[in-house]
Amino acid sequence: MEIDEETKIELYTTMVRIRTFENRARILIRDGEIPARSGFYTGQEAVAAGVCAHLSPSDQIGSTHRALGHLIAKGCDLKGLMAELCGMSSGLNKGKAGPYHIFDPSVGALGANGIVGGSVPMVAGYALTHQLRDDGGVAVSFYGEGASNQGGIQETLNLAACWNLPLVFVCENSSPEVQRMLGHEIDYPQLSIERVSDRAQAYGIPGATYDGWDVLEVYNAVGDAVKWAREGNGPTLLEFNVHQIEGNLEGRIEVRDDERIWCPIHRFKERITDEGILTTELDEKIRDKEKSKVEEAAEFALRSTVPAPIEAFKGVFAGGP
Ligand SMILES: Cc1ncc(C[n+]2csc(CCOP(=O)(O)OP(=O)(O)O)c2C)c(N)n1
């Protein structure tokens, strides 16, 4: 699929926004302003950007314990997001969700989920709603390879296939060598299941594995799967190999030389620079703009107030005190 220049810049900008936001959040954790640990998405930005570029606010995503990238790409308000991380009453969920359960239905972000694989069956409910309403909407479920053997995910794959749900399964595989699947350790080629996406054939749905560090490859693969789902053809299982860039990335957007080969932002920057789409001036403009938006979000969060203790009882149970 030919991808236009505007879309390429949009994908690049989304990835820069995620990296910039997470780097700022790392500093806030270090400074004790975010009173919780958070799973970071550094190195996986191409997947969230490439997936969410195909979705509108009326399409939903279900996310993981590394949700910030997904939530930002889906359009969550940066101020509300940062304030939520800091546990403030101005946060998207009034400071009650924290990093692992942030959600924002207004943009179709069903939310982070601290339960590995937990959001997958839930987001299938949105897919069923789209099907019943016949509104052409889709739902996307993000999960990791560690989650992929959870019973709830296998049941959801089965149900989505049986009911032909408009649901795209997006598995971000960060460690292909530690799959606990049949065929990995025994020599039965006819039973061999080596990739998460190999499971798709058992459910009779399309499935394939792609490079998750190549944002254009992600964009193209998801474009086909989303179109397939919107047209009523049912679910697809997409697996993206990713590399989680570990280490101390505090406050810097660039990764170390030895990490660059895996860095989706660096790779894409080189590519669109070679294509003459990204100039040094445009790159600086994008980075400055994202940095100031993230800084505004951090200032907003730091100026906010923590919820009063009584708030703990509100919005939790119907009929509470
Ligand atoms: C049901 C459940 N089991 C175990 C955990 C503890 N846990 C947190 S992260 C994690 C690993 C998840 O691996 P994967 O799904 O591949 O995601 P990744 O961390 O690689 O992005 C585990 C086991 C959990 N949160 N929920």
Sequence-separated (6 or more) residues with CB below 8 Å from residue 155: 121
Cα–ligand 1 centroid distance for 241 (angstroms): 17
DSSP codes of every residue in 212-281: TT-HHHHHHHHHHHHHHHHTT---EEEEEE-----S--TT-SSPPGGGGGG-HHHHHHHHHHHTTS--HH
Cα–ligand 1 centroid distance for 196 (angstroms): 16
DSSP 134: T
| Tens-digit pLDDT profile for residues 8-30 | 999 999 999 999 999 999 889 88
Determine the pLDDT at residue 248: 44
Tell me which residue has its CA closest to atom 12 in ligand 1: 146
Cα–ligand 1 centroid distance for 283 (angstroms): 35
Q: From CA 290, how far away is CA 9, in angstroms rounded?
A: 13
Query: The tokens of 67 are what?
Result: 């949700």
Cα–ligand 1 centroid distance for 264 (angstroms): 23
pTM for the model = 0.94
317 within domain boundaries: no
Which residues form the pocket of ligand 1, taking CB atoms under 6 Å from any ligand atom?
Answer: 65-66, 114-116, 144-147, 174
29 within domain boundaries: yes
Tell me which residue has its CA closest to atom 5 in ligand 1: 116
Determine the pLDDT at residue 244: 86
312 within domain boundaries: no
Residue 276's domain spans which residues? 5-307
314 within domain boundaries: no
Q: Give pLDDT tens digits along the chain (321 positions).
A: 789 999 999 999 999 999 999 999 988 988 999 988 888 999 999 999 999 999 999 999 999 999 999 999 999 999 999 999 999 999 999 999 989 999 999 999 998 999 999 999 999 999 999 999 999 999 999 999 989 988 999 999 999 999 999 999 999 998 765 455 555 555 555 555 678 898 999 999 999 999 999 999 999 999 999 999 999 999 999 999 998 886 444 555 566 777 777 899 999 999 999 999 999 999 999 999 999 999 999 999 999 999 999 998 887 776 655
254 within domain boundaries: yes
In 3D space, the residue among 214, 195, 310 whose CA is nearest the CA of residue 269 turns out to be: 214
Cα–ligand 1 centroid distance for 147 (angstroms): 6
Determine the pLDDT at residue 149: 86
Q: From CA 143, how far away is CA 174, in angstroms rounded?
A: 11
Tell me which residue has its CA closest to atom 18 in ligand 1: 144
Mutate to test the pocket of ligand 1, among 22, 47, 116, 173 (most ligand atoms within 8 A of CB): 116
CATH for 28: 3.40.50.970
| Tens-digit pLDDT profile for residues 46-104 | 999 999 999 999 999 999 999 999 999 999 999 999 999 999 999 999 999 989 999 99
Determine the pLDDT at residue 16: 96
Report the nearest atom of ligand 1 relative to the CA of 115: 26
Tell me which residue has its CA closest to atom 22 in ligand 1: 116
Cα–ligand 1 centroid distance for 224 (angstroms): 29
Phi, psi of 178 (to 5 degrees): -115, 50
Report the nearest atom of ligand 1 relative to the CA of 143: 15
Count: domains in the chain: 1
315 within domain boundaries: no
Report the nearest atom of ligand 1 relative to the CA of 114: 25
Cα–ligand 1 centroid distance for 87 (angstroms): 23
